[in-house]
Structure 1
Amino acid sequence: MGTPGPRERLLDATITSLRRDGVEGTGIAGVLAASGTARQSIYQHFPGGKAELVAAAVRRAGDFIARRGATEPHAHVDDRIDWWIGQLRRHDFALGCPVAAGALAGADSPDVVTAAAEVFARWAAQFGAHLVEAGADPERSAALGRFLVSSLEGAIMTARALRSVQPLEDLRPVLHRLIDDLLPH
């Protein structure tokens, strides 16, 4: 595959910064230093500056996470929860979800918030589609897809604050019961 180019290195460094410091704490100088790229690379690849870079990083992170996990609903939930538990433990609870960071960007970064909303909607629709494929009602599946995203993001933030994976472990059986309620018996 080769060495990542400057664009990919900028995006990856931005994702890490978003996970650690949020949108406000993500600065161009830090991203440049972490990525090992020259300043002109930002404007060559992201002419809109920081806002365009951060929105692209949120979408890239969203794509990465969307590719994770099984299609069977129970296994999908377990895969997502297990992955986040591993991430939180590996990084000593210092790194959260870059998409959630984008969602919290506020009115000064509408393109970033829009990117986060698009990712959350895609994740919800993806899980809803897995439920429908397993035989669940489409409308109820869409609602559970939205709930999965909301509850998982809340559990990640709570786990970071408490420095405990227990909120994610608590969420697992609840989501499994909700899935069971939707699937045909």
Structure 2
Amino acid sequence: MTETGLGPRERLVNSAVAMVGVRGFHGTGVSELLAHSGAARNSIYQHFHGGKAELVEASTLAAGERMSALLGSLYEDGGVEGLVDGLVDWWQRALEHDGFEAGCPVVAAALAGPDLPGVVSAAGTAFTVWCAQLAAALLERGLTADAAESLARFTVGAVEGAVVLCRATKSPRPLDDARTQLRALLELRLRDEG
């Protein structure tokens, strides 16, 4: 399964994003990544001298950048409330499309383990960027820096946790619950502090 027009590096990164989101770091093998990407065996080590760990680190950063772009687009289209609703909608569509098999590759990278500090650090970078984006949006709505940062971290954690619950229960309900509670919390915080 190859993606036309993309070089082996990009195909490997895209395959790692997809496969790590389903199987995690340890459940994703090099042979499977090569087969999924259509890349030659030497491609991993040619483009990622550190092997699978370096590839997954790069794919985690790529997944983080893609989500960051989505968050920016959702915010431009609907403000903070639209960002939260849009993010929940996006995850529900993605989970239902994949039969609740694929989760967040950034969460999977965060759980890779202490023997893979580069992979875990890449996940931390992605989460930090997402939280900073949301915090900046909340600051624009009048929240204090501390309140905006705290609410941003809580929102990202609530949505990511709901995604994990959705996968485990094969149900969109945890994301529905996250949307309901986050809407109420956002309304309250924006009214009281904004």
TM-score after normalising by structure 1: 0.96
1:14 and 1:54 in contact (8 A); partners too:
yes
Instruction: Quote the Cα distance in structure 1 between the aligned partners of 2:28 and 2:140.
Output: 39
Asked if 1:107 is matched to 2:114, the reply is: yes
Residue in structure 2 matched with residue 147 of structure 1 by the alignment: 154
| One of 6, 11, 26 as aligned partner of 1:9 | 11
What secondary structure is seen at the aligned counterpart in 2 of 1:39? coil
Instruction: Quote the Cα distance in structure 2 between the aligned partners of 1:181 and 1:129.
Output: 18
Residue in structure 2 matched with residue 18 of structure 1 by the alignment: 20
Residue in structure 2 matched with residue 86 of structure 1 by the alignment: 93
Instruction: Quote the Cα distance in structure 2 between the aligned partners of 1:24 and 1:157.
Output: 17
Report how far residue 135 of structure 1 moved. Answer: 2.0
Instruction: Quote the Cα distance in structure 1 between the aligned partners of 2:178 and 2:103.
Output: 17
Report how far residue 107 of structure 1 moved. Answer: 1.3
Q: Deviations over 1:58-103 (max 9, x none)?
A: 1101111111142211000001000000001000001000000001
| One of 164, 169, 172 as aligned partner of 1:162 | 169
Asked if 1:57 is matched to 2:64, the reply is: no
Instruction: Quote the Cα distance in structure 2 between the aligned partners of 1:37 and 1:57.
Output: 15
Report how far residue 147 of structure 1 moved. Answer: 0.5
| Unmatched segments (≥5 aa) in structure 1 | none
Residue in structure 2 matched with residue 128 of structure 1 by the alignment: 135
The letter of the residue matching 1:161 is A
Report how far residue 166 of structure 1 moved. Answer: 0.4
1:141 and 1:182 in contact (8 A); partners too:
no
Which segments of structure 1 move beyond 2 Å, counting only runs of 4 or more?
A: none
| One of 42, 45, 48 as aligned partner of 1:46 | 48
Cα RMSD for the two superposed structures: 1.2
Instruction: Quote the Cα distance in structure 2 between the aligned partners of 1:57 and 1:127.
Output: 22
1:103 and 1:117 in contact (8 A); partners too:
yes
Instruction: Quote the Cα distance in structure 1 between the aligned partners of 2:187 and 2:120.
Output: 33
Report how far residue 181 of structure 1 moved. Answer: 2.3
Residue in structure 1 matched with residue 180 of structure 2 by the alignment: 173
TM-score after normalising by structure 2: 0.91
What secondary structure is seen at the aligned counterpart in 1 of 2:151? helix
